[in-house]
Amino acid sequence: MEAVSPRTEPGCRTLSIHVVTWNVASAAPPPDLSDLLQLNNLNLNLDVYVIGLQELNCGIVRLLSDTAFEDPWSSYFMDVLSPLSFVKVSSVRMQGLLLLIFAKYQHLPFIQVLSTKSTPTGLFGYWGNKGGVNIFLKLYGYYVSIINCHLPPHMANNDQRLEHFDRILEMQNFEAQGIPNILDHDLILWFGDMNFRIEDFGLHFVRESIKNQRYCDLWEKDQLSIAKRHDPLLREFQEGSLLFPPTYKFDKNSNNYDTSEKKRKPAWTDRILWRLKRQSQTDFHTPALSAPFALFLRSYISHMVYTVSDHKPVTCTFDLELKPLVSAPLITLLPEGPCTMESDMLISYSLTADFLSSPWDWIGLYKVGLRHINDYVSYVWVKDNQVSFSDRLNQVYIDISDIHETEDRFLLFYYSNNLHSVVGISKPFKIQPFSFLEEDPLDEAQPQI
């Protein structure tokens, strides 16, 4: 598919999504991932990062450490992306498989994480060294499924790879939770180390084709391309043109293909696929029939600069054009004046008519640049410290006694226990020192929003 720039229709918006897949072969994060994350690309204004890793270090000591603390890769991505206003929305891990989603914080009220799932396919379906991890969410009202997988290796195991692909797909059934079948989702992003190989051609021919950048000579014998010609369901999954060198297998710390005794034949093992829902006249699942929902591929590339693994990472950048089915947050938050560093701050918030609140809902106070939802500096349960309420407007106090004088800007997030998601955020504001307000008692201080 050629890169096409979307023409945004009235009432629509475009979200830029960057997808990463990388088999890291138990390596630690390298010092600089700017190229992988396209941080220096001034033509990109990304909204969402989707990052899938395979073969994370999953020794028993490492797994225990990663259970108690963030794994090194997650911590690295949060450290790099949080200063750029990205917040970790969700993650799921199964042994060496890790799937992360980051979004700019202004999108959080329109992202509802519905479910996460792990599907092991190794050792007769009981071992998670192979399989898939999945995150299902609603994005501006549309159902989106994101799958990171690691399929069986070796040239001769192609039938097994396809069987595991089908099994992962079949296991994504959440109808008991009110979630439509995965094939009824508006968008599926499926990527990972799929381990498909290049059939028939000999090692010398493959390497010469790569050396001369005649990648098209190899496409017809790529096992995934062959499978799509024979499998109608697999054919529904689209992929960009393979205009980059095969991403496996390299000698570590080099750009040389395998020089070991085995001399494995290079292959495009690391792939990124997507599937848009086919609308029909009998489909009443969502008003998407009349709402534009289109995906445009901007780039599909590998990153040869990274040598810590025997795989090269692959990335896709998409523009997702959609007409939001949800255009206003369920909660509107406003810090009331005076926003002072005394002991408490008054927060007003209003609810939409269809929002079902819970006593376990809470409001968190965050510094701008937070890494994830647990990075609050203070919080309050919405039913605690409540000073007034009406059908639509509520007020509550939050403790800020531990916040020292600072030039930092802050945000308020409203977290819904029923929806397991952020459903409202404030605009950034500063908290003024209380002594500053006392200098002129006649001056009514207002939140700096």
Burial of 112 (0-12, 13-18, 19+ CB in 10 A): buried
pLDDT per residue as tens digits for the range 374-412: 999 999 999 887 877 776 788 999 998 888 888 899 999
pLDDT digits (tens, 9 = 90+) for 189-201: 999 999 999 999 9
pLDDT at 323: 95
Average pLDDT, the chain: 87
Mean predicted confidence (pLDDT) in 105-123: 91
**Beta partners for residue 150, in sequence order:** 131, 193
pLDDT band at 289 (very low <50, low <70, confident <90, very high): very low
**Do 250 and 256 form a contact (C-beta atoms < 8 A)?**
yes
Between 149 and 447, the more confident residue is: 149
- Position 435 scores a pLDDT of 45
Contact 344, 399 (CB under 8 A): yes
CA dihedral 247, 250, 256, 260 (to 10 degrees): -140
> pLDDT tier at 447 (50, 70, 90 boundaries)?
very low
Q: Are 52 and 191 in contact (CB under 8 A)?
A: yes
Confidence of residue 7 (pLDDT cuts 50, 70, 90): low
Q: What digits encode the pLDDT tens for the residues 55-97?
A: 998 765 455 554 555 899 999 999 999 999 999 999 999 999 9
Decide which of 388 and 142 is more confident.
Answer: 142
Contact 174, 218 (CB under 8 A): no
Examine the pLDDT at 246 and tell me if it is beyond 70: yes
Q: At what angle do helices 223-230 and 158-170 cross, to 10 degrees?
A: 60
Asked if pLDDT for residue 176 goes beyond 80, the answer is no
CA gap 307, 311 in Å, rounded = 8
| Average pLDDT rounded to a whole number, residues 33-43 | 95
